[in-house]
Amino acid sequence: MKTIDQLKLTGERALIRVDYNVPLDEGIVDDNFRIRASLATIRYCLDQGAAVILMSHLGRPKGKVVEEYSLLPVAEELRNLLGKEIVFSRDCCSDKALEVSRTLQAGQVHLLENLRFHPGEESNDPDFAAYLAKHGTVYVNDAFGTAHRAHASNVGVAAHFKEAGIGLLMAKEVQFLHEKMGHPAKPMVVILGGAKVSGKLELIRNLLEKADRMLIGGGMAFTFLKAQGKDVGKSLVDDALLEEAGAVIRLAADKGVELLLPTDVVAADNISPSAAWPVTPVSELDQDEIGVDLGPESCALFGSAIMGAKTILWNGPMGVFEYAPFQTGTEIVIASIIEATNAGAVSVIGGGDSAAAIDSLSDPKHFTHISTGGGASLELLGGQSLPALEALS
C-alpha cells in the first residue's frame, strides 16, 4: 500500500476521498474537526503541483438529492480554513462537474457534491465508480471514517488508477491504531465507555490480549455490572449480551488483566440537566434510578489507574457529558490522560463521542492522536481488516 509521498503528483489531478461527514446547524458547519484533519493532505498535493478534486458523503440521504445534506456549507468552511477559493459542483458525476475537474489548473481545488445523493455510492456500483475515477489521474484515500465500508468512492474507484495510495491522515490513523496499538509500550491502559456494549465485544477481546488494565464506564458498564449479579436499577443494560459480558470478565481474569468497573455512580430518575443527581454505591441503586456518570470513588479509582501508563487507548465517555452535572467522570478521565501523556505516554483517542468530549471539555493538542473514525477505528482495533485499505494493497 503506497502512501502519498510515493505518488507522482506534479501536473496531475489528485482525486481525494475525504470524510466531510460533519454536523451542520442551520446550514453552518458545527464541528470542523474532520475538515481540519484533511488539510495536511490537501496542502501536500497542492504544494507538489497538483490540482485537487475532493469527494465525500454527508449524512444518509439514501441515494436521493436531499438539500439539507448538501456539501455547500462544507465548501464555505473549507475555503475559510484553507484560505483558498473552492470550486463547488452541485453534482459529483455530471458532465459539467467532470469538465470542471478536467480543466482544473495546478493549485486549484474542486469539491464535488454529496456522493450519497446517488445510490451507486453505497452499493459500490462499478459504473458509478468508473465515472468518479474520470475526475482524477491519481487517487488518494484520506477518509479513515469510511474505511470500514466497501463503497464506490473508496473501494470500487481504486481499481481504475495505476497511481493510488493513502493520504497523511489515513497513514497516521493506521500508524497509531494498528501499529502503536498492535505493539504497545507497557503498561497499557484501555478505557472504554459510551452507551452500548453491542459492537464492542470483539474489540474488548482483542484488547485483552494487549492491555494490562481495562476500565469500563459509561452506559456499557451496567451490562457488565449486571453480569456480576448487581442490581443496576433502570440503567442501560443489553440483556442479550449478559452472558457474553460475563465471559469477558472471566477472560480478563484468565489473562491477568485488571478489569475495573464503577463502584459508585451519579444517579438520576431521568436524563436531563434539571434532574436530581444523588451519588450512590452501585449496589444501592433504586429501581427507578439510572446511572448517568461515575461517582467520586469511581473517579478516583479510574484516575489512579491511568497514572503510570505508557500506552493509553480511550473510546467512549464515562457519562452523559452533554449535561454539566453528568460530565465529571469524563473530565477526570481526560485530565488523567493529559497528565500521563505529559509524562511520556502515547494517548490515542478513538470514536466520535470521545473527540466531541475533548472539544467540549479540553483541547485536542494535549493528546498524541485523536482518530477521525468511529466504526473504522473500532474495527481496526478489533483486529478486523478494512475494505478501503485492502483495495489499495
Give the whole-angstrom CA distance, residue 323 versus residue 280. 19
Query: Could you tell me the pLDDT band of residue 347, with boundaries at 50, 70 and 90?
Result: very high
Q: One of 90, 134, 196, 230 is an active-site residue; which one?
A: 196
Residue 380, pLDDT score: 86
Give the whole-angstrom CA distance, residue 226 versus residue 243. 10
Per-residue model confidence as pLDDT tens digits over 50-86: 999 999 999 999 999 999 999 999 999 999 999 999 9
Give the whole-angstrom CA distance, residue 370 versus residue 279. 31
Is 196 a known active-site residue?
A: yes
* CATH fold of the domain at 4-171: Rossmann fold (3.40.50)
Give the whole-angstrom CA distance, residue 174 versus residue 147. 11
Residue 196, pLDDT score: 84
What mean pLDDT is predicted for residues 126-137?
98
| All cell numbers assigned to 26 | 442551520
Q: Is the pLDDT assigned to residue 381 strictly greater than 90?
A: no
Q: Is the pLDDT assigned to residue 9 strictly greater than 80?
A: yes
Q: What is the 3-state secondary structure (H, E, C) of the chain?
A: CCEHHHCCCCCCEEEEECCCCCCEECCEECCCHHHHHHHHHHHHHHHCCCEEEEECCCCCCCCCCCHHHCCHHHHHHHHHHHCCCEEECCCCCCHHHHHHHHCCCCCCEEECCCHHHCHHHHCCCHHHHHHHHCCCCEEEECCHHHCCCCCCCCCHHHHHCCCEEECHHHHHHHHHHHHHHHCCCCCEEEEECCCCCCCCHHHHHHHCCCCCEEEECCCCHHHHHHHCCCCCCCCCCCHHHHHHHHHHHHHHHHHCCEEECCCEEEEECCCCCCCCCCEEEHHHCCCCCEEEEECHHHHHHHHHHHCCCCEEEEECCCCCCCCHHHCHHHHHHHHHHHHHHHCCCEEEECCHHHHHHHHHHCCHHHCCEECCCCHHHHHHHCCCCCHHHHCCC
CB burial of 79-98 (b: ≥16 within 10 Å; e: otherwise) equals: eeebeeebbbbeebbeeebb
Question: Helices 328-342 & 296-306, crossing angle to 10 degrees?
Answer: 20
β-strand 290-294 against 279-281: which pairing, if any? unpaired
φ, ψ of residue 158 in degrees (nearest 5): -60, -30
What mean pLDDT is predicted for residues 256-272?
95
Q: Which CATH architecture has domain 184-381?
A: 3-Layer(aba) Sandwich (3.40)
Q: One of 167, 352, 373, 374 is an active-site residue; which one?
A: 352
Give the whole-angstrom CA distance, residue 292 versus residue 279. 10
Residue 195, pLDDT score: 87
Is 182 a known active-site residue?
A: no
Tell me where in the chain the CATH 3.40.50.1260 domain(s) lie.
Answer: 4-171, 184-381
Q: Is the pLDDT assigned to residue 133 strictly greater than 80?
A: yes
Q: One of 34, 172, 200, 226 is an active-site residue; which one?
A: 34
Give the whole-angstrom CA distance, residue 360 versus residue 354. 10
Residue 150, pLDDT score: 97
Give the whole-angstrom CA distance, residue 385 versus residue 138. 24
Contact 252, 211 (CB under 8 A): no
Is 310 a known active-site residue?
A: no
Q: One of 59, 375, 382, 383 is an active-site residue; which one?
A: 375
Please choose, from the candidates 289, 292, 165, the residue with its C-alpha nearest in 3D space to the C-alpha of residue 217.
292
Per-residue model confidence as pLDDT tens digits over 108-117: 999 999 999 9
Is 375 a known active-site residue?
A: yes
Per-residue model confidence as pLDDT tens digits over 157-198: 999 999 999 999 999 999 998 888 888 999 999 999 998 888
Where do we find the cell 473530565?
A: 331
CA distances from residue 266 to 99, 272, 289, 327 in whole angstroms, order as listed: 59, 13, 10, 10
